């Protein structure tokens, strides 16, 4: 028989530790699945771990042992309750035996032998109860133990008889994905019951909150199984709008069930983030997360120090878009985003660019970010925050002064080999942001802007200087006279020499 699960309930850490170390639980046929500090905490852990035996104190805050035993007797009659008592509260224990308490242990006289004797007494009652339980329920309990790692033995022959299929699939989810795990557990069970109407199945829920269904199918049924599962989900109204399940590939040998379970559990981690509108995903369609490259923090911080805030925001926006395109792990994505905006908010607030309302709102940004369940929610939050920041900054910064410095630099160095990359590095603007400035304000690329400036300088030199064409070509940044002449004719409509003659009135 699989080990029986035991939950300890006592508000004193020393008592819990003493009981935990009093006997060798595993060798005695028991497994400690949890420790609760009061009755309310115990009820939560009972839902989570489904213990066979609850070992509880009487005097505790919030919900005492007598109240707890009343609730267990009513809602979990299969659970055996053993009370830890002191001499002072013996009358309380005595009056609560009607609630199904197996026995009590006096704390001052607690020994390994007395504890083990009462545990075995409880185990005998549980065996008697389990002997009357439906064989499928017994098999489900055994599967829970097996997948939870509490036992390495499993009767696969009985499982094969129950499922009677030629192939098998695992349907998997985790209750930890949901904000209302206990309610979702009930609704998922309803979903599994619908599937059981059409297929041979056996469900499981492990002590780690893994929940799933092992499904036996014929060769022909395996092809359309995912479509069937999606259809059945559509018939239900879940308390949370986006349930998420993953479906394993089919396998023929039942002894592979634990291997398939562990593979599916690992592959499913953090996947729901990118599958907002897909309730059942085949394992083969799960995303293989790429390792995202680190953000260029030194450059970003340099832009902030130089008050090129919009350039820094543009850099951050491009980086986060790239991470989303390459489907990096949601954990990595949120960590990078949190760091970027933390630095940005701090600098802007310190420099008085954020009004009071925005400063208050930004305090909730990190919390909202961490609670984003899906990529769509993440993108919307980041986009709205960036738009709000850009609106605030556009009303606060003097862009003309900043960009005039750039234009003055180009005017003074137009004959040199200036590139947009060099300008972005010198003035701490992102390449894309600087490029968009020229497109927006001059309806031209930076290269076109520089070319137009050089042609205007060439026209001035052709009109007002005695320099020959080669000297003029070199003076405006062209090393090759033929290429200069070609560009000049294309832009101005005539050759440099003809332009000079026409300007001088010569024919």
Number of domains in the chain: 4
Q: Does 130 have pLDDT greater than 60?
A: no
Percent of the chain with pLDDT over 90: 22
Q: How far apart are the C-alpha atoms of 288 and 352, rounded to whole Å?
A: 43
Residue 471: band (very low, low, confident or very high) from pLDDT cuts 50, 70, 90? very high
263 in the same domain as 183: yes
pLDDT of residue 258: 93
Calculate mean pLDDT across residues 448-459.
90
pLDDT of residue 134: 65
Calculate mean pLDDT across residues 264-269.
94
> 389 — phi, psi (to 5°)?
-65, -45
Residue 168: band (very low, low, confident or very high) from pLDDT cuts 50, 70, 90? very high
Q: How far apart are the C-alpha atoms of 140 and 179, rounded to whole Å?
A: 26
User: Burial, 398: exposed, middle or buried (Cβ in 10 Å; 0-12, 13-18, 19+)?
Assistant: exposed
pLDDT in tens, 56-113: 888 888 888 888 888 888 778 788 888 887 655 555 555 554 455 556 777 777 888 8
Residue 501: band (very low, low, confident or very high) from pLDDT cuts 50, 70, 90? confident
pLDDT of residue 396: 59
- Among 223, 257, 285, where does a domain finish? 285
Residue 291: band (very low, low, confident or very high) from pLDDT cuts 50, 70, 90? confident
147 in the same domain as 94: no
254 in the same domain as 146: yes
20 in the same domain as 123: yes
Cβ–Cβ < 8 Å for 101, 83: yes
- Among 367, 394, 421, where does a domain finish? 394
Domain membership of residue 290 (yes or no) is: no
143 in the same domain as 127: no
Q: Which domain range does residue 433 map to? A: 399-503
pLDDT of residue 1: 47
156 in the same domain as 75: no
Calculate mean pLDDT across residues 443-462.
89
479 in the same domain as 357: no
428 in the same domain as 336: no
Calculate mean pLDDT across residues 128-150.
72
Residue 172: band (very low, low, confident or very high) from pLDDT cuts 50, 70, 90? very high
Q: How far apart are the C-alpha atoms of 486 and 301, rounded to whole Å?
A: 44
Domain membership of residue 45 (yes or no) is: yes
Residue 144: band (very low, low, confident or very high) from pLDDT cuts 50, 70, 90? confident
214 in the same domain as 110: no
**Mean per-residue pLDDT over the chain, rounded:** 83
pLDDT of residue 103: 67
Tokens 């395109």 belong to: 325
32 in the same domain as 78: yes
pLDDT of residue 280: 93
CA triplet 163, 165, 171: central angle to 5 degrees?
Answer: 70
- Among 97, 131, 165, where does a domain finish? 131
CATH number, residue 438 = 1.10.10.60
Q: Does 506 have pLDDT greater than 50?
A: no
pLDDT in tens, 333-390: 999 998 898 888 888 877 766 665 555 666 678 888 888 999 999 999 999 988 888 8
Cβ–Cβ < 8 Å for 433, 403: no
SS (H, E, C) 181-218: HHHHHHHHHHHHHHHHCCCEEEEEECCCCEEEEEEEEC
pLDDT of residue 270: 92
Percent of the chain with pLDDT over 70: 89
pLDDT of residue 308: 78
Q: How far apart are the C-alpha atoms of 470 and 310, rounded to whole Å?
A: 42
C-alpha dihedral sign at 337, 340, 344, 347: positive
- Least confidently predicted of 222-231, 358-367, 406-415, 478-487: 358-367
pLDDT in tens, 375-411: 999 999 999 988 888 877 766 555 556 677 888 888 8
Domain membership of residue 292 (yes or no) is: no
Residues sharing a CB contact under 8 Å with residue 462, sequence separation 6 or more, in sequence order? 472, 496, 499, 500, 503
Q: Does 47 have pLDDT greater than 90?
A: no
146 in the same domain as 273: yes
Calculate mean pLDDT across residues 36-59.
86
pLDDT of residue 82: 85
147 in the same domain as 65: no
User: Which tops the pLDDT comparison, 437 or 212?
Assistant: 212
Domain membership of residue 474 (yes or no) is: yes
CATH number, residue 185 = 3.30.70
Residue 266: band (very low, low, confident or very high) from pLDDT cuts 50, 70, 90? very high
CATH number, residue 56 = 3.40.50.2300
Calculate mean pLDDT across residues 465-470.
91
pLDDT of residue 2: 59
Calculate mean pLDDT across residues 455-478.
91
């Amino acid at each position: 028989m699989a080990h029986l699960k035991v939950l300890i309930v006592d508000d004193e850490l020393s008592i819990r530790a003493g009981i935990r170390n009093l006997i060798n639980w595993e060798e005695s046929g028991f497994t400690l699945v949890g420790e609760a500090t009061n009755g309310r905490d115990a009820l939560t852990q009972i839902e989570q771990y489904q213990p066979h035996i609850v070992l509880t104190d009487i005097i505790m805050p919030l919900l005492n042992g007598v109240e707890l035993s009343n609730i267990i007797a009513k809602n979990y009659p299969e659970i055996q309750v053993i009370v830890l008592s002191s001499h002072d509260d013996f009358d309380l224990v005595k009056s609560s035996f009607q609630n199904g308490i197996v026995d009590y242990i006096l704390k001052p006289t607690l020994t390994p032998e007395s504890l083990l004797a009462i545990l075995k007494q409880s185990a005998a009652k549980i065996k008697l109860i389990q002997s009357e339980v439906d064989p499928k329920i017994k098999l489900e309990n055994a599967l829970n133990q097996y997948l939870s790692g509490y036992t390495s033995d499993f009767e696969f022959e009985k499982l094969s008889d129950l499922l009677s299929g030629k192939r098998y699939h695992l349907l998997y989810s985790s209750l930890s994905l949901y904000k209302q795990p206990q309610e979702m557990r009930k609704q998922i069970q309803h979903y599994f019951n619908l599937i059981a109407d059409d297929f041979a199945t056996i469900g499981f829920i492990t002590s780690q909150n893994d929940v799933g269904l092992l499904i036996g199918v014929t060769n022909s049924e395996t092809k359309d199984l995912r479509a069937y599962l999606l259809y059945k989900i559509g018939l239900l109204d879940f308390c949370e709008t986006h349930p998420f399940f993953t479906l394993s590939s089919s396998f023929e040998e039942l002894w592979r069930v634990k291997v398939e379970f562990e593979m599916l559990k690992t592959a499913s981690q953090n996947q729901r983030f990118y599958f907002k509108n897909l309730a059942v995903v085949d394992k083969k369609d799960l995303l293989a997360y790429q390792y995202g490259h680190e953000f260029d923090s030194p450059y970003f911080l340099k832009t902030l120090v130089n008050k090129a805030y919009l350039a820094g925001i543009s850099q951050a926006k491009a980086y986060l878009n790239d991470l989303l395109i390459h489907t990096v792990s949601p954990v990595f994505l949120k960590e990078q985003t949190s760091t970027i905006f933390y630095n940005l908010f701090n600098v802007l607030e310190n420099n008085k660019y954020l009004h009071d309302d925005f400063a208050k709102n930004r305090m909730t940004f990190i919390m909202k970010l961490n609670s984003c369940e899906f990529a769509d929610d993440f993108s919307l939050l980041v986009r709205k925050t960036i738009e709000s920041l850009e609106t605030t900054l556009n009303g606060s910064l003097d862009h003309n002064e900043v960009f005039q410095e750039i234009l003055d630099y180009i005017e003074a160095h137009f004959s040199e080999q200036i590139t947009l990359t060099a300008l972005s590095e010198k003035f701490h603007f992102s390449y894309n942001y600087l490029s968009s400035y020229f497109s927006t304000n001059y309806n031209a690329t930076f290269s076109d802007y520089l070319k137009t400036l050089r042609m205007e300088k060439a026209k001035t030199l052709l009109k007002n200087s005695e320099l020959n064409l080669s000297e003029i070509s070199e003076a405006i940044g062209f090393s090759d006279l033929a290429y200069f002449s070609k560009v000049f004719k294309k832009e101005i409509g005539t050759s440099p020499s003809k332009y000079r003659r026409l300007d001088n009135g010569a024919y």
